[in-house]
Structure 1
Amino acid sequence: MTSPPRRRVILMRHGAVQYFDPAAAAPLAAHGVPLTAEGLAQARTAGLALAAAGVHIDLAIASGLPRTLQTAEAVLGAQVAPPALETWPELEEARGGRLRDLPADALLDAFTALQRGPLTDDTRFLGGERLGDLLDRVLPAWERLRARQDWQVALVVAHGVVNAALLSHVVSGGQRMVLPGWQQEPACLNLIDLGPAPGDDVLRACNLAPTDWLQRDTRTTTMERLRDDFLGWSAARQKLHRVTP
């Protein structure tokens, strides 16, 4: 019996963004937020690392949101003969609800619910989209990628929750679930060898951060930092309202 053929998927999270601008009256719309200067640097570093290792990308996919397009374009900029970038909107991030609609006693926990679990189809991301609905759009896209025969190394730039769903699918042998506890640093690389069927997939590496491979001093998650950014933004807005006549 021979081993199943596998192809390499480089599953990335987009680079760093800033949702809560202290000078803005409201959080920036998640669908339109761009990469920060740091996020662009992270994406370029990832691209240079892949090129230096001799990795040739022959299929490139982004969710279509600006932060994933910018990340993918920065990575492809280091390739000698980059492929055309495709957009797959099925891979857009889980859609959060409006933070002001969440009860005050549930707001802070909502930021970290997906890292704690338990998670079910009815678990909602920041009071918004159900994980079951996310899986219904993300997993068929993953199988569409598997069915295509025109690539050997694919770059897929998506989002934290989407990546958690795909990584859960891979390590569970193809089950439909989202496991808690996944961490995805900005512009991180996950290396997956995609087999002919879900049970043949292999996770080679997870959450490799190109500007900080060892993450030596990092002890918080991206969602914990997002929660802290929100608290800082809220405090700044409250202070502004107190001093504004």
Structure 2
Amino acid sequence: MTRRRLYLMRHGAVSYFDPVSGAPLQAETVPLTAAGQDQARAAGLLFAAQNVRFDRVVCSGLPRTRQTAAAVLAELPGPQPAIEEVPALREIHGGRLRDIAPAELDAVFTTLQRGPLTDDTRFLGGESLGELWARALPATQRLLAEPWDCALWVLHGVVNAALLSHWVSGGQRLLLPGWQQDPACINIVDLGGPGDALLRAVNLNAQDLLRPQERLSTMEKLLADFTRRG
């Protein structure tokens, strides 16, 4: 039996709010912060120290994923594969934060941490999980049908959670609640044929492996940031 190794990362840290006005920025255009660059480089150094070599590198095409992938590859010796963009794997799109009633903020921001989740569940009042599956799953299947042995995919928190849920459930189209994806985290999955996936590690943080002081989720921190700036 032959399985392929996939290192599935989330992009490094970004800021979704204007530093002066506090207004939400377009999520599609935000770049990595200085901390995000450092996180990506730390992941690259970890790959280099473990002599990991990629023969396929994929990102979603959003600046934060391409910048993360480029920073990782910059720490590896020798020539590296070109970074491919797969727009269908962009992050699930949220709605207008200002349209969310204050009393509903906590429930809306943390919806994906709780269950049950269905195709009709929406992310921040925007795109539904069904719509995410409709674009992300065919793109993933195309990538898995192509030849490679050790790949790096740099994607997003919800997209990663969806793919990990799909693989650990034997190929079901479902999103399990409760996944945490820190900035520039590394997930390790060995993939065989349909329904054959070995999950070896989740949410590895190259800068802070055990995260002893962390208790909040990404969305809880985003909510706190939004509430403070609002």
TM-score by length of 1: 0.91
Task: Work out which of the residue numbers 173, 186, 190 in structure 1 matches 2:183.
Answer: 186
Q: Deviations over 1:32-89 (max 9, x none)?
A: 0011000000000001100110000110000000000100000111222210000000
Following superposition of structure 1 onto structure 2, how do residues 202-217 of structure 1 map, counting pairs within 5 Å?
A: 202-217=198-213
Q: Which residue of 1 aligns with 2:48?
A: 51
1:222 correspondence with 2:218? yes
Once residues 21 and 117 of structure 1 are traced to their aligned partners in structure 2, the CA distance between those partners, rounded to angstroms, is 32
Aligned-partner SS, 2:24: coil
Aligned-partner SS, 1:216: coil
1:83 correspondence with 2:73? no
Q: Which residue of 2 aligns with 1:24?
A: 21
CA RMSD of aligned residues (A): 1.0
Aligned-partner SS, 1:206: strand
Once residues 170 and 81 of structure 1 are traced to their aligned partners in structure 2, the CA distance between those partners, rounded to angstroms, is 31
1:120 correspondence with 2:111? no
Amino acid at match of 1:12: M
Following superposition of structure 1 onto structure 2, how do residues 59-208 of structure 1 map, counting pairs within 5 Å?
A: 59-79=56-76, 80-149=78-147, 151-197=148-194, 199-208=195-204
Which 5+ residue runs of structure 1 have no aligned equivalent? 235-245
Amino acid at match of 2:146: R
Q: Is the 8 A contact 2:182 2:218 kept in 1?
A: yes
Q: Is the 8 A contact 2:9 2:154 kept in 1?
A: yes
Aligned-partner SS, 1:212: coil
Instruction: After TM superposition, give the deviation of residue 157 of structure 1 in Å.
Output: 0.4
Once residues 85 and 22 of structure 1 are traced to their aligned partners in structure 2, the CA distance between those partners, rounded to angstroms, is 30
Aligned-partner SS, 1:156: strand
Q: Deviations over 1:69-113 (max 9, x none)?
A: 100000111222210000000110000000111222212321111
Q: Is the 8 A contact 1:21 1:233 kept in 2?
A: no
Instruction: After TM superposition, give the deviation of residue 146 of structure 1 in Å.
Output: 1.2
Count of residue pairs brought into register by the alignment: 229
Amino acid at match of 1:179: L
Q: Is the 8 A contact 1:91 1:141 kept in 2?
A: yes
Instruction: After TM superposition, give the deviation of residue 231 of structure 1 in Å.
Output: 0.8
Instruction: After TM superposition, give the deviation of residue 25 of structure 1 in Å.
Output: 5.3
Q: Deviations over 1:142-163 (max 9, x none)?
A: 11121001x2111000000000
Q: Is the 8 A contact 2:22 2:229 kept in 1?
A: no
Q: Deviations over 1:188-220 (max 9, x none)?
A: 0000111122x1111111000111111111111
Q: Deviations over 1:91-143 (max 9, x none)?
A: 10000000111222212321111011210000000000000110111111211
Aligned-partner SS, 1:127: coil
Aligned-pair identity (%): 60
